[in-house]
Amino acid sequence: MMDDTLSMRPADLDDINTIGFLAQQIWPDTYGNIVSQQQLQYMLNLIYSPTSLRRQMLDDKQQFMIVEQGDEPIGFASWSALEEPGVVKLHKLYVLPGRQGKGLGRSMIEFIFQAIRPEGAMTLRLNVNRYNTARQFYERMGFVVIKEEDIPIGNGYFMNDFVMEVAVPAQD
């Protein structure tokens, strides 16, 4: 019998290859119609190379999590505190294309709220590509657009994003 129990756990350096592998599966579906193939590859290498993920975990102090169904990793997220007191930045929240729309994203956000609430987080902030349909998911989760920004990422490429925020809910 197949174990399809859903679990969420903190990720560490041993999960770098898994996170990179998931990104390679998810990003073409998420961004394939938004950015060029060249920019997609550039960004995957920039953000998800083992060296980059290691730096994000160790130097940038990003906390990572992995979602697993049974033994299969199906999603990941990362976040870190910002210099601004009480504000935590959600850097990544991704689920395999075939697993989207089943409440996993909501569960992941709730996991993150549980993790950041004890640290005094009042606001969860994120950037989402202006053409990414995930914006509607974030709006359903209560996030609101506070501004737009275009971030140069090298090679003449930009991330054209909405910045969104939601108040971290008080403990139930």
User: Is residue 46 domain-resident?
Assistant: yes
Over residues 91-142, the pLDDT tens digits come to 999 999 989 888 999 999 999 999 999 999 999 999 998 988 899 999 999 9
User: Is residue 172 domain-resident?
Assistant: no
Region for residue 155 given its phi and psi (left: phi exceeds 0; alpha: psi -120 to 50; beta: otherwise)? left
Structure tokens at 107: 């569960």
Q: What is the residue-averaged pLDDT of the chain?
A: 92
Mean pLDDT of 71-93: 95
User: Is residue 98 domain-resident?
Assistant: yes
Residue 153, SS3 per DSSP: strand
List the domain range (segments joined by +) for residue 64. Answer: 6-167
User: Is residue 86 domain-resident?
Assistant: yes
CA–CA separation, 153 vs 31, rounded Å?
16
Residue 72's domain is classified under what CATH number?
A: 3.40.630.30
DSSP 8-state class, residue 168:
P
List CB contacts of 109: < 8 A, sequence separation 6 or more: 90, 93, 124, 141
pLDDT at 172: 63
The total of structural domains in the chain comes to 1
User: Is residue 140 domain-resident?
Assistant: yes
Of the listed ranges 2-6, 11-15, 87-91, the one predicted with least confidence: 2-6
User: Is residue 1 domain-resident?
Assistant: no
